[in-house]
């Protein structure tokens, strides 16, 4: 079995190759090592192999793990966030990936004001329209985006999506391409860069990089099966 360090190296190489195939610089893509469910020892091992950015999706688990790890590590919250957890989450995470409604965005904005910070967020978009998925429908996003961008504290840096579960990575391509095209259109319409695209997981991150991802969220390809 390859070691965690070897897995990490392999993922980094695949990201670099995918970026090169798409004519992008590999520095344009950052790897979020998704460490949910994995123990702090494994996170420490990844950190020793040079990985500094990690993603967690379960608040209780994350708030136990993060304080016991080196403070130089950076954390992204990638899970479904409930309004009553915002105050707990904001101090630990530099970016919230899954803001999926205007009401959650308003709560983050308000609490950011109370805490004296400017929370950085990505808006989750349900590109596939699957009922089981969180996120703004593309049409709702087009309607609500101006209001979201006008919030005084909220820093909307771009979008996040999840492709439907599929055996083939190629099946994700149309969804990733659609998110990039939506972003391009909304960026032009609003004059705001919206430059961050969080898309791609262990099964489809190379396709995501080819389609413009700037953040890929990769867990099991690094840490092993959960």
Ligand X SMILES: *Cc1c(COP(=O)(O)O)cnc(C)c1O
Which residue of 15, 104, 199, 201 would you call a contact of ligand X, by CB under 6 A? 201
By CB under 6 A, is residue 5 in contact with ligand X? no
**Residue 140 Cβ, how far from ligand X at the closest point, in Å?**
20
Candidates 86-94, 143-151, 206-214, 217-225: pick the segment binding ligand X (CB under 6 A): 217-225
Size of the site for ligand X (CB under 6 A): 12
By CB under 6 A, is residue 44 in contact with ligand X? no
CB 200 within 8 A of CB 176: yes
CB 58 within 8 A of CB 79: yes
Candidates 5-13, 130-138, 187-195, 215-223: pick the segment binding ligand X (CB under 6 A): 215-223
Which residue of 119, 138, 212, 219 would you call a contact of ligand X, by CB under 6 A? 219
Half-sphere exposure of 197 (CA within 13 A, CB side): 26
Residue 57: phi and psi, rounded to 5, are -125, -5
Which residue of 26, 36, 44, 173 would you call a contact of ligand X, by CB under 6 A? 36
Candidates 85-93, 139-147, 177-185, 216-224: pick the segment binding ligand X (CB under 6 A): 216-224
Nearer to ligand X, 151 or 161 (CB): 161
Residue sitting closest to ligand X (CB): 219
x-marked contacts with ligand X along 99-128 as a string, rule CB under 6 A? ------------------------------
**Residue 165 Cβ, how far from ligand X at the closest point, in Å?**
10
Nearer to ligand X, 66 or 151 (CB): 66
Binding site for ligand X (CB under 6 A): 34, 36, 57, 78, 162, 201-202, 217-221
């Amino acid at each position: 079995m390859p070691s965690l360090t070897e897995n990490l190296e392999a993922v980094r190489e695949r990201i670099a190759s995918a970026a090169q195939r798409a004519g992008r610089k590999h520095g344009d893509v950052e790897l979020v090592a998704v460490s949910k469910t994995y123990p702090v020892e494994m996170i420490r091992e990844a950190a020793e192999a040079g990985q500094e950015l990690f993603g967690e999706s379960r608040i209780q688990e994350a708030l136990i793990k993060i304080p016991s790890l080196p403070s130089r590590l950076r954390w992204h919250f990638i899970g479904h966030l409930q309004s009553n957890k915002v105050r707990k989450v904001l101090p630990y995470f530099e970016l919230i990936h899954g803001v999926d409604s205007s009401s959650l965005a308003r709560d983050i904005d308000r609490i950011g004001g109370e805490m004296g910070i400017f929370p950085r967020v990505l808006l989750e978009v349900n590109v596939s329209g699957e009922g089981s998925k969180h996120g703004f429908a593309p049409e709702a996003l087009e309607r609500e985006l101006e209001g979201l961008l006008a919030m005084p504290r909220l820093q909307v840096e771009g979008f996040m999506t999840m492709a439907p579960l599929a055996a083939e990575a190629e099946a994700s391509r149309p969804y990733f391409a659609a998110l990039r095209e939506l972003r391009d259109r909304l960026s032009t319409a609003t004059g705001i860069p919206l430059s961050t695209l969080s898309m791609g997981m262990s099964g489809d991150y190379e396709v995501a990089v080819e389609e413009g991802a700037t953040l890929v969220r990769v867990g099991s390809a690094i840490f092993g099966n959960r």
